[in-house]
Copies of this chain bind each other. A is one copy, B any other.
Amino acid sequence: MTNLGDLEIFARVVSTGSMSAAGRTLGFSPAVISKRIKRLEDRLGTRLLQRTTRQISLTEAGQGFYDRVLGILTGIEEAEAYASGRSSQAQGVLRISAPTSFGRMHIAPHLTGFMKDHLDLKLHIVLTDDFTDIVADGFDMAVRIGELTDSSLVARKLAPVRRLLCASPDYIARNGAPTEIGELARHFCLPAHNNDNWKLEGPEGSLVWHPEGPLVTNSSEIVRAAVIAGAGIALRSTWDIGPELRSGQLVQVLPQWEGSKNLTLSAVYPSRQFLPAKVRLFIDYLATLYGPVPYWEQ
């Protein structure tokens, strides 16, 4: 039977991208890493890593094996935590992937509150707007905004996402407010990253609007700043511009139209029979933080 240490070493080599680096983080000499990888490959009868002395890459078999090994290792971690009676406490490292903007605005400020209840837990948070493969990249969970897709992941809805059209009072004063959807064509529209098709729902059903404007960027933060500065009309989420709406820095336009309703804020994690406590607790924390009506909607 395969040695578990070999699997752990293999996983670390993949995640660090080098045998020496894996050795350093695990406290082994490079010689040991090399020997264990070789032994694993011999036992499986397959090459897992294609290696030169300067870099390492996964073979196809190695990639599939790696995906599986990650699940096995967290499974063992969870089983040990369970048996040790630590099953109700978060412990170890919790690796989270989250969208940049949302993460900065609505996750980061609440982290200390969670951490002070779970002193044995370390958090690794990566903010990115790429839809990463959380299992391949070794995340325990991710926070996602989007339409729910079927996959091998389990999604738990945290909150609905409302998107509405808005502009600054300043802009409205200069350009007037549109009263019908067609008038958008005469306005500056500010599309955002991954959002150059505005799916809108209104009294007359739904439509897709292709906003065209003077500013194109992949950063929703820039769009956000631009609309506040009066550069045009944008379709923004309430979690993003809730305070500005309340303070009057922004006003909603065409309030009868909203973004497509089938967007949700969700926590996703790999399908597992036994969910580690750290994941369960963090998702619960976010769910109570945001739900049933998110504070940014109030």
Contact = CB atoms under 8 A, between A and B. Distances in A.
Interface stretch (A75-83, A112-120, A223-231): A75-83
A5 to B, nearest CB: 6
Indicate the size class of the contact surface on chain A. 35 or more
A241 to B, nearest CB: 38
Give the interface SS of chain A, mostly helix, strand, loop or mixed.
helix
A90 B169 CA distance: 68
Contact of A2 (B1, B44, B76, B78): B76
Interface in A236-284: 270-274
A64 interface: yes
A1 B230 CA distance: 57
A102 interface: no
A65 interface: yes
Interface stretch (A66-74, A155-163, A194-202, A286-294): A66-74
A61 B78 contact: no
A84 B71 CA distance: 18
Contacts of A69: 79
B71 A75 contact: yes
A85 B3 contact: no
A4 to B, nearest CB: 4
Contacts of A76: 1-2, 7, 72
A135 B83 CA distance: 17
A232 to B, nearest CB: 45
A84 B271 contact: no
Interface centre among A46, A71, A272 (most CB of B within 10 A): A71
A48 B45 CA distance: 35
A212 interface: no
Contacts of A152: 273
B271 A273 contact: yes
Given A2-B4, A3-B4, A4-B4, A78 B68 contact: yes
12 contacts: A1-B76, A2-B4, A3-B3, A4-B4, A61-B85, A62-B83, A68-B273, A68-B274, A71-B273, A72-B72, A72-B79, A271-B273
